[in-house]
Structures are given as C-alpha cells and as structure tokens.
C-alpha cells in the first residue's frame, strides 16, 4: 500500500450519489469490517448528491466535521473521525482534517444518505492524504464507513461481492449508466430520521428465523438480477427486485426486536404498483430501511407513473432520478 508523504497532504473535494439496491444488503458476517452476509446489486442515482471536502491541517488537535453547515460533535462526528483514522493508518499520517459535507436531499429517510456520504468521504479523504487507490480498494475503504457506500464508488449498475476479507469485499460496475434508461421515482412519505439506523438494524438480521432462507436465496437472485440488467429485461428485474425487498422486510419484521420501517401508506403504494404492472406499465417497487418507496420504471412509462404517484394522498414529494456515474473528484 502506497504511503503518503506529509508534504503531499492537500485539500480535496468529491461528489457521490446514493444508490438504490435491487438485491439488498441486510446483515453482516463481520460488523466491524461491514463484511455482508450476501452480495447485492444496485444502481447509482443521478441528481441526488453529497459533496464533501477534506482539508488536512497540521494545526488541528482533532478532526472537525460540518454537515449541511452545522458543526457536529456527537455520533456522526465519531463515525467520520473513526473513518479518517483508517485513512490515516493507510497513509501513515497523524494529521487531523476539517471535513465539510452537504447533501441536496433529505438524510435518514430511506435514501441511503450514508452511501453517498461515505463514498464521497472515501474519495476526498484518500486524495487529501495522497493515497492513490484503485477503484476496488476505494470501494472497500468506503465500505468501512457504510456497507452500501462501497456500491456508490463504481459507475452505473453495480454489484458488491461479500468477500471473506476486507480487500475481497468490494463493488464493481456491471453496466454503465447509459446502458438502460430506467428511472427511480423516489416517493417521499416521511422526511424524519429513521428510528433504528441501518448500522444497528444489520446486527438484528441474525435474530430472524427467515434470515438463513434469505441468505440461501440471494445468490440465485443476484444471477437473475445481473442477467436482467445485462439484457434490459424489465419483467425479470421487477419480479426479483420486489421478491428481495419483501424478503428483506420480512427478515426485519421477524427480528428481535422487530423492525418495522414500512407504514400503511408504503404498503398501499406497493399494492398499487403491482396492479399498474399487471395493467402493462413497466414499474416495480423497492423499499430500504425507511417508509419511502422507490418506484423503478422504464423511462417510457416514468411520466405516467410520476403523475399517478403525485396524486396519491399523503405523498409529500416524488424525486425523479436515473442511473448515474459513481464517485468523482470535483
Ligand atoms: O449501508 P447501510 O448500512 O446504510 O445499509 C443499507 C441497507 C439497505 O439500504 C436497507 C439495503 C441496501 O442494500 O442498500
């Protein structure tokens, strides 16, 4: 691993997008390293962005973190500072840094803000500390901050393999963003911060009697999903995406304690999406660790689905996104 020379420390700014998983990551076999129980497949989301600047500064006695203009001291600060410790260890540096980060979308509402946050931080920090990491190593590094962040490093449609070690667990692009004109209509039902964050939620997966079954089912689903993406087969993508989202939420609900992220409105919308598909509209739905619904559609059907979704009572907003590149320096 290349060590950085102290003289090479310099400010760096990176941009990353969140991603939506078709086959989900839920549960770790190693919580500290965030080595997942299964592989997962996702798509990066255009228009939604985290921009993060890292400025190493020899005068600092500790790291500093500002999120959305607000200086942080609690759990968010600790998580970022622990992450920077890993970067410093790789770079053989003891210099603290000022980190400034902002999202253009609401955090903590099932739009996986930690994915774009740690992907942008991994890229900005690795450059700021003069580490020249190949994409796979950068993806592994981002994973240490948030598992799904590993998938926000490569471009477009992305697969993350679980791996047995830190270096083996990384994501790569299976198709570029322009490969398939999909849209993700992100139906916002609630903008508040979720009660149980995913880092704590992952630890409960083992307590569900349905978890072993899901771990056994996911490798087959990954094959179906990868093929569906490569062949732009929407019906196959829809079925496997909905099956895996339902299975993950069944694991969540049957954990001890039970995790219930979906509301009555979430379930109503999921039922409506299925009936729209039965009527010939190329749409399907998936839900992360929050109440909001990600409605995936082929671009040709996106506008119709969008106007229908906007008419549903209780829908606060619908964000429109499409496949995007991965993390990049700006
Ligand atoms: O990366 P985390 O710890 O925020 O976990 C993400 C978990 C889900 O969003 C529910 C699923 C996924 O694969 O993105």
Per-residue pLDDT at 20: 97
Q: How far is the CA of 319 from the centre of ligand 1 (A)?
A: 19
Is residue 325 within 8 Å of 10, Cβ to Cβ?
Answer: no
Residues 207 and 100 grouped into a single domain: no
pLDDT band at 3 (very low <50, low <70, confident <90, very high): low
Q: What are phi and psi of 133, to 5 degrees?
A: -95, 135
Residues 53 and 169 grouped into a single domain: yes
Residue range 316-327: mean pLDDT, rounded:
96
Q: How far is the CA of 63 from the centre of ligand 1 (A)?
A: 26
Question: Which protein residue has the closest C-alpha to ligand 1 atom 8?
Answer: 288
Model pLDDT for residues 120-135, shown as the tens digit of each residue: 999 999 999 999 999 9
Average pLDDT of the residues of the chain: 95
C-beta atoms surrounding 74 within 10 Å: 8
3-state SS assignment for residue 5: coil
End-to-end CA, the chain: 25
- Does the pLDDT of residue 19 top 80, yes or no? yes
Is residue 17 within 8 Å of 48, Cβ to Cβ?
Answer: yes
Per-residue pLDDT at 107: 63
Q: What are phi and psi of 296, to 5 degrees?
A: -95, 130
Q: Is residue 196 part of a domain?
A: yes
- For every residue of 158-223, which 3-state class applies, written as one string? EEECCCCCCCCCCEEEEECHHHCCEEEEEEECCCCCCCCCHHHHHCCHHHCCCHHHHHHHHHHHHH
- Ligand 1 atom nearest residue 114's Cα: 4
Where does a domain end: 161, 178, 195? Answer: 178
pLDDT band at 193 (very low <50, low <70, confident <90, very high): low
Residues 59 and 96 grouped into a single domain: yes
Q: How far is the CA of 160 from the centre of ligand 1 (A)?
A: 12
Q: How far is the CA of 33 from the centre of ligand 1 (A)?
A: 15
Where does a domain end: 135, 154, 178? Answer: 178
Model pLDDT for residues 221-257, shown as the tens digit of each residue: 999 999 999 999 999 999 999 999 999 999 999 999 9
Residues 108 and 195 grouped into a single domain: no
C-beta atoms surrounding 212 within 10 Å: 12
pLDDT band at 5 (very low <50, low <70, confident <90, very high): low
Per-residue pLDDT at 105: 84
- Ligand 1 atom nearest residue 199's Cα: 3
The CA–CA distances, whole Å, from 162 to 168, 217, 222 equal: 8, 15, 12
Per-residue pLDDT at 137: 98
Per-residue pLDDT at 191: 75
Q: Is residue 309 part of a domain?
A: yes
CATH number of residue 215's parent domain: 3.30.70.890
The sign of the torsion formed by the CA atoms of 145, 150, 156, 158 equals: negative
- Ligand 1 atom nearest residue 148's Cα: 1
Per-residue pLDDT at 1: 46
Residues 158 and 192 grouped into a single domain: no
Q: Which residues contact 256 (CB under 8 A, 6 or more apart)?
A: 204, 207, 208
Q: How far is the CA of 20 from the centre of ligand 1 (A)?
A: 9
Is residue 156 within 8 Å of 176, Cβ to Cβ?
Answer: yes
Instruction: Specify the higher pLDDT residue, 126 or 191.
Output: 126
Ligand 1 is surrounded, with C-beta below 6 A, by 21, 24-26, 40, 112, 114-115, 146-148, 198-199, 202, 288-289
pLDDT band at 194 (very low <50, low <70, confident <90, very high): low
Residues 170 and 200 grouped into a single domain: no
Residue range 279-296: mean pLDDT, rounded:
95
Residues 238 and 311 grouped into a single domain: yes
3-state SS assignment for residue 85: helix
* Closest of 122, 179, 183 to residue 148, by C-alpha: 122
Bond preceding residue 288 cis, omega within 30 of 0? no
Q: Is residue 160 part of a domain?
A: yes
Residues 143 and 30 grouped into a single domain: yes
Report the number of distinct structural domains present in the chain.
2
Residues 158 and 291 grouped into a single domain: no
Q: Is residue 138 part of a domain?
A: yes
3-state SS assignment for residue 57: coil
Model pLDDT for residues 72-120, shown as the tens digit of each residue: 999 999 999 999 999 999 999 999 999 999 999 866 445 668 999 999 9
Q: Is residue 326 part of a domain?
A: no
Is residue 255 within 8 Å of 204, Cβ to Cβ?
Answer: yes
Radius of gyration of the chain (CA): 19
Query: Any idea which of 3-7, 35-39, 69-73, 139-143 has the lowest mean pLDDT?
Result: 3-7
Residue 105 DSSP code: S
pTM equals 0.96
Model pLDDT for residues 146-182, shown as the tens digit of each residue: 999 999 999 999 999 999 999 999 999 999 999 999 9
pLDDT band at 6 (very low <50, low <70, confident <90, very high): low
Q: Which residue range(s) make up the domain with 166?
A: 6-178
What tokens appear for 166 in the block? 């830190």
> What are the DSSP E strand ranges found in the chain?
12-16, 19-23, 28-30, 35-36, 40-44, 50-56, 64-67, 70-71, 97-103, 157-160, 171-175, 182-188, 283-286, 293-298, 317-321, 328-329
Q: Is residue 48 part of a domain?
A: yes
Q: Is residue 328 part of a domain?
A: no
- Ligand 1 atom nearest residue 197's Cα: 4
Q: How far is the CA of 216 from the centre of ligand 1 (A)?
A: 19
Question: Which protein residue has the closest C-alpha to ligand 1 atom 10?
Answer: 288
Where does a domain end: 116, 144, 178? Answer: 178
Q: Is residue 330 part of a domain?
A: no
Instruction: Specify the higher pLDDT residue, 196 or 322.
Output: 322
Q: How far is the CA of 113 from the centre of ligand 1 (A)?
A: 10
Question: Which protein residue has the closest C-alpha to ligand 1 atom 9?
Answer: 288
Residue range 40-54: mean pLDDT, rounded:
97
């Amino acid at each position: 691993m290349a060590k950085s020379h102290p003289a090479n420390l310099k400010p760096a700014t990176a941009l990353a997008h969140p991603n939506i998983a078709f086959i989900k990551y839920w549960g770790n076999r190693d919580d500290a390293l965030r080595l997942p129980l299964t592989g997962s497949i996702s798509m990066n989301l255009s228009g939604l962005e985290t921009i993060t600047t890292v400025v190493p500064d020899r005068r600092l006695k500790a790291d500093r973190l500002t999120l959305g203009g607000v200086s942080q001291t609690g759990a968010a600060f600790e998580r970022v500072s622990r992450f920077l410790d890993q970067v410093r260890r790789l770079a053989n540096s003891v210099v603290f840094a000022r980190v400034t980060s902002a999202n253009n979308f609401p955090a903590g509402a099932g739009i996986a803000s930690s994915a774009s946050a740690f992907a942008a931080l991994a890229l900005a920090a690795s450059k700021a500390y003069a580490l020249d990491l190949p994409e796979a190593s950068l993806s592994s590094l981002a994973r240490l901050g948030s598992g799904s962040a590993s998938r926000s490093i490569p471009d477009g449609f992305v697969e993350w393999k679980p791996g047995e070690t830190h270096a083996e667990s990384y994501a790569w692009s299976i198709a570029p963003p322009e490969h398939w004109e999909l849209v993700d209509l992100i139906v916002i039902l609630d903008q508040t911060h979720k009660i149980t964050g995913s880092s704590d939620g992952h630890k409960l997966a083992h307590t569900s009697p349905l978890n072993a079954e899901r771990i056994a089912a996911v490798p087959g689903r990954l094959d179906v999903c990868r093929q569906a993406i490569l062949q732009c087969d929407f019906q196959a993508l829809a079925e496997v995406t909905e099956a895996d989202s339902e299975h993950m939420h069944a694991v969540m609900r049957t954990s001890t304690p039970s995790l219930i992220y979906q509301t009555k409105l979430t379930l109503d919308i999921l039922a409506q999406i299925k009936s729209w598909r039965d009527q010939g509209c190329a749409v399907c739905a998936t839900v992360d660790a929050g109440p909001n619904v990600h409605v995936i559609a082929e671009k040709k059907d996106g506008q119709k689905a969008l106007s229908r979704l906007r008419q549903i009572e209780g829908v606060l907003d619908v964000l429109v996104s499409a496949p995007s590149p991965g993390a990049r320096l700006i």
